[in-house]
Amino acid sequence: MKGVYGLKIEALTNVGKVRKINEDSVASFVCDQYAYAIIADGMGGHLAGEVASGMAVDIIQEYIKDNITEDMDHFQVKEQMIKAFHLANIHIYQYSCENDSVMGMGTTTTMCMVRNGYVIFAHVGDSRAYLIDKKIKQITNDHSYVQELVKLGQITPEEAKVHPRRNYITRAMGVEETVKVDAGIKTYKGQKILICSDGLHGKVDDDEILAKVSKPDAKKSVKSLVKLANDRGGEDNISVVIMEGEESDA
């Protein structure tokens, strides 16, 4: 078992400059078998988003702890991560239906796990995950209205950044009884992994993220990224995670 010795995670979540409540939830975990980080960006009005994102993170973590075993290959781990997302989705949906104060709540959720020389990820919504070495590559696809327009060729990526409906997401956890979860596997060779909510990537371009994350101190990098998003208005909650480890021999 190769494990994930040497992998470090730095995380920071911030309420921003406008909102009174931070509805983002962030979690990370490192052990000898694997390491992971999760960002969930809640929505649904006063406190509801906070409840939804917190439930997503807690339920996924509990499921992973109970169901990922050492003998699994990376494809089996990916399937378990998808099951964890589905379980969280139905719990959030049912809780929302049973409690009027949080009715209609939902959350984006993005998770990356490093295990045995691979990055395994699962994703719903418009939070993002990137792989970063000398270049930056987004490995998740935004489930958003403007991304659909970009895919159809109706607007450019540059136009998407300023589109009036750029914050409208087309897929979230807890909104419906079922949800489609995107998941994938990438070879891990020591690249940095960045996960962030749209409070960051809505204000900071990929090239700017690359410049900040390329610096050696990950703790300073996450602080610098949050500060930059706040300096540009900070209208949304801002969450950033950087995972960095030693080069893999997988």
Answer for the pair 117, 187: CB distance below 8 angstroms, yes or no: yes
Choose among 188, 193, 78, 175: nearest CA to 130.
Answer: 193
Q: Please, what are the domains in the chain?
A: 8-244 (3.60.40.10)
Percent of the chain past pLDDT 70, that is, above it, reads 86
pTM: 0.92
Strands, sheet with 192-196, edge to edge from the N-terminal-most edge strand: 8-14, 238-244, 192-196, 128-132, 136-138
| Average pLDDT over the chain, rounded to an integer | 90
- The predicted structure's pLDDT at residue 249: 43
Read off the DSSP letter of residue 124.
E
Average pLDDT over residues 53-74: 97
Average pLDDT over residues 118-141: 96
- Name, in order, each residue with C-beta under 8 angstroms of 46's C-beta and a sequence gap of 6 or more: 21
Cβ-based burial of 152 (10 A; exposed 0-12, middle 13-18, buried ≥19): exposed
> pLDDT band at residue 47, thresholds of 50, 70 and 90?
confident
How distant, in Å, are the alpha carbons of 127, 151, 176 from that of 201? 8, 19, 26
What are the tens digits of pLDDT across the range 6-22?
Answer: 789 999 999 999 999 99
Both tokens assigned to 93:
């949906």
Q: For residues 162 and 166, give the distance between their C-alpha atoms in angstroms, rounded to a whole number.
A: 7
Task: Find where tokens 């020389």 sit.
Answer: 117
pLDDT exceeds cutoff 80 at 164: no
Choose among 81, 19, 29: nearest CA to 56.
Answer: 81
pLDDT exceeds cutoff 80 at 2: no
pLDDT exceeds cutoff 50 at 48: yes
Task: Find where tokens 């959030």 sit.
Answer: 92
